[in-house]
């Protein structure tokens, strides 16, 4: 099971059952048996039904109709939320959630508004519409602020899921660790606690840190009551099977998957079955039990063809299918699965930004196109096959050579810039802050005071304050922004922003050269440490100041230190 199949139901974490038509609500009349019921009585039935529409749909619609009649905006918001939980069709659910958000905004109920946006993000996430999911999570975050720790952590966790899906595993790990710390303090909420463990195990598996993946998965299995083989037991047993596969223990993988297979075939969703059949097939195939392996891999492929929802973990299963039929010279089936894999990749490229940077495969798009053409040509003309293959390989080789040359010369240029910068940095004279013979419309005594203040500002490294602005600094120096701006322009020959950025970069370079621990910080941490809000802004300012990017600069410093230690 992928984390998103259960994690984004952050309010009541329930399954959605049957659907209904939102248009029917306009003509709905409260049954006589429910006319005298209070909101609390109707709500109780809805909750106790497990948000099952077939059991409580009439109560939910009666709740909504009652709120409309009473013109009660608070209960109307609750009614929209309940119907969004109960219904299955995402388009209808999104309409109710938009109504919920609109009402709560008018009521200035920021927490309820944030919940609506988180819910919407979850709906989009479940459909792998990551852009809209992220937009809604960020919108929710702008409303929740520091008002609700539960929502804060849920939003951060959901963004971590997005980062994990996009291949940004290290950043996702930070989010999941914070969420785990929160869940650990509230361990009585089993869903949050188990969900955090599941996410940690998953991201460590993606990072190829198998021992850590096993560690968090085993914590969860030990927490499940002895003999209690319910939802969570099967989820973590399934997750453990994935960990076993990564470790190469294919017999254990099959044993665990066979244990959970009946549970998921009975009540699991398509994404869970897709993954389960794929891992079973891959494990059998790795054990050279090709017939059994191909059987399950084809079952996984048929599910993908039906719902078009992808899981990147099944991609290598397609490679196995293609290789299997290629070895049998079964061109027809080979062509079928090449077409399916190309379709899979097309969806993957649209939904998963990490395809281009983190997934390295034997069957990239260019090769698949070439192989597809080869097979078609084989059935028609052997001569045409050789022609296509030779041209494709020549183009790829030519592009590869160009790329290698480009990377080589770029590295040489950066190396020269680094060496030149380091030579210029040796014992640089510290200029005295003065303004001489300049046409500046600031009294001399004020100029002198500002220059002294700027010197103290630099000496105390106050420029590392991320909130510093021209007006704030002017206030600290007991002057106005006009005078301060003119003095900086004339004394430093640069704008206020350039002045602050250069001070921060110079400070960062100094610490990188003298502080061994500082060099081990991430670029993001270094940026924040010297006053930048965003690592991208820091990297651009660093490049402008030194001619190279911070990652290259640190790498060269480490090489230099390593070389000196060897010679010493």
Kindly state the tokens that stand for 369. 């196109």
Overall average pLDDT of the 409-427 stretch: 76
Distance of CA 70 to the CA centre of its chain: 43
Band of pLDDT at residue 164, cut at 50, 70 and 90: confident
C-alpha 375/C-alpha 378 separation (Å) is 5
Band of pLDDT at residue 352, cut at 50, 70 and 90: low
pLDDT recorded at residue 22: 44
pLDDT recorded at residue 404: 83
Nearby residues of 97 by Cβ (< 8 Å), 6 or more positions away: 80, 81, 84, 116, 119, 120, 123
C-alpha 550/C-alpha 417 separation (Å) is 13
Which DSSP symbol is given to 423? H
C-alpha 203/C-alpha 165 separation (Å) is 9
User: SS3 for 186?
Assistant: coil
Which DSSP symbol is given to 225? P
CATH class given for the domain over 1-166: mainly alpha
Dump pLDDT digits (tens) for 442-459.
888 899 899 999 999 999
Dump pLDDT digits (tens) for 230-274.
778 888 999 999 999 999 999 999 999 999 999 888 876 788 888
In degrees rounded to 5, what are phi and psi of residue 294?
A: -65, -35
Dump pLDDT digits (tens) for 118-162.
889 888 887 778 788 888 988 888 888 777 888 888 888 888 888
The H or E element spanning position 232 is helix 231-247
Label residue 443 left, alpha or beta by phi (over 0 means left) and psi (-120 to 50 means alpha). Answer: beta
Q: Does residue 568 surpass a pLDDT of 50? A: yes
The H-assigned helical ranges of 431-549 are: 444-459, 470-476, 481-492, 496-514, 516-519, 523-529, 535-546
Which DSSP symbol is given to 433? -
Nearest Cα to Cα of residue 276 among 305, 307, 234, 306? 234
**Which pTM value belongs to this model?**
0.54
Cβ–Cβ < 8 Å for 361, 335: no
Nearest Cα to Cα of residue 255 among 287, 211, 208? 287
Terminus-to-terminus CA distance in the chain, angstroms? 54
Nearest Cα to Cα of residue 470 among 482, 459, 462, 460? 482
C-alpha 67/C-alpha 233 separation (Å) is 41
Burial class (CB in 10 A: 0-12, 13-18, 19+), 508: buried
pLDDT recorded at residue 435: 63
User: How many C-alpha atoms does 57 have within 13 Å on its Cβ side?
Assistant: 16
Which DSSP symbol is given to 93? H
Q: Nearest-5° angle of CA 430, CA 431, CA 435?
A: 165
Tell me the DSSP string of 285-307: HHTT-HHHHHHHHHHHHHHHHHH
């Amino acid at each position: 099971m992928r984390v998103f199949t259960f994690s984004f139901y952050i309010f009541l974490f329930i399954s959605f059952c049957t659907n209904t038509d939102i248009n029917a609500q306009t003509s709905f009349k409260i049954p006589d048996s429910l006319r005298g019921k209070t909101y609390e009585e109707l709500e109780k039935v809805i909750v106790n039904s497990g948000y099952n529409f077939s059991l409580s749909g009439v109560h939910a619609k009666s709740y909504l109709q009652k709120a409309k009649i009473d013109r009660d905006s608070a209960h109307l918001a609750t009614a929209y939320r309940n119907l969004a939980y109960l219904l299955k069709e995402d388009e209808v659910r999104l309409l109710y959630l938009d109504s919920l958000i609109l009402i709560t905004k008018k009521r200035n109920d920021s927490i309820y508004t944030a919940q609506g946006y988180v819910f919407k993000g979850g709906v989009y996430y479940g459909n792998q519409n990551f852009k809209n999911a992220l937009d809604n999570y960020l919108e929710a975050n702008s409303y929740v602020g520091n008002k609700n720790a539960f929502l804060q952590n849920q939003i951060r966790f959901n963004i971590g899921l997005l980062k994990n899906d996009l291949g940004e595993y290290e950043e996702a790990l930070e989010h999941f660790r914070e969420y785990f710390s929160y869940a650990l303090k509230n361990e009585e909420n089993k869903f949050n606690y188990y969900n955090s463990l599941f996410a940690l195990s998953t991201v460590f598996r993606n990072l190829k840190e198998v021992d850590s993946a096993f560690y968090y998965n085993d914590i969860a299995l030990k927490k499940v009551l002895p003999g209690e083989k319910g939802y969570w037991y099967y989820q973590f047993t399934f997750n453990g099977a994935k960990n076993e596969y990564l470790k190469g223990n294919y017999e254990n993988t099959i044993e665990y998957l066979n244990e959970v297979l009946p549970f998921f075939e009975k009540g699991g969703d398509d994404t869970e079955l897709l993954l389960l059949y794929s891992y079973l097939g891959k494990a059998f195939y790795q054990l050279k039990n090709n017939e059994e392996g191909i059987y399950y891999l084809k079952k996984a492929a048929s599910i993908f063809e039906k719902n078009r929802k992808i899981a990147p973990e099944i991609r290598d299963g397609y490679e196995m299918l293609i290789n299997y039929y290629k070895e049998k010279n079964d061109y027809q089936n080979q062509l079928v699965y090449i077409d399916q894999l190309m379709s899979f990749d097309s969806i993957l490229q649209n939904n998963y930004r990490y395809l281009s940077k983190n997934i390295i495969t034997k069957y990239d798009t260019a090769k698949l196109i070439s192989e597809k053409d080869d097979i078609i040509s084989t059935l028609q003309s052997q001569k045409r096959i050789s022609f296509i293959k030779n041209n494709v390989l020549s183009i790829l080789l030519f592009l590869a050579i160009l790329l290698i040359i480009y990377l080589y010369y770029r590295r040489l240029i950066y190396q020269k810039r680094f060496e030149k910068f380091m030579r210029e940095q040796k014992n640089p004279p510290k200029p005295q802050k003065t303004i001489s013979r300049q046409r500046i419309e600031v009294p001399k005594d004020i100029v002198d005071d500002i220059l002294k203040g700027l010197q103290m500002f630099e000496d105390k490294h106050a420029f590392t304050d991320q909130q510093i602005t021209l007006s704030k600094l002017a206030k600290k120096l007991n002057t106005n922004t006009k005078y301060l701006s003119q003095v900086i322009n004339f004394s430093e020959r640069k704008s206020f922003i350039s002045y602050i950025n250069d001070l921060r970069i110079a400070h960062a370079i100094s610490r990188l050269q003298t502080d061994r621990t500082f060099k081990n910080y991430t670029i993001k941490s270094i940026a924040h440490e010297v006053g930048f809000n965003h690592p991208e802004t820091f990297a651009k300012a660093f490049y402008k100041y030194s001619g190279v990017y911070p990652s290259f600069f640190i790498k060269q410093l480490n090489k230099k230190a390593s070389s000196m230690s060897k010679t010493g």
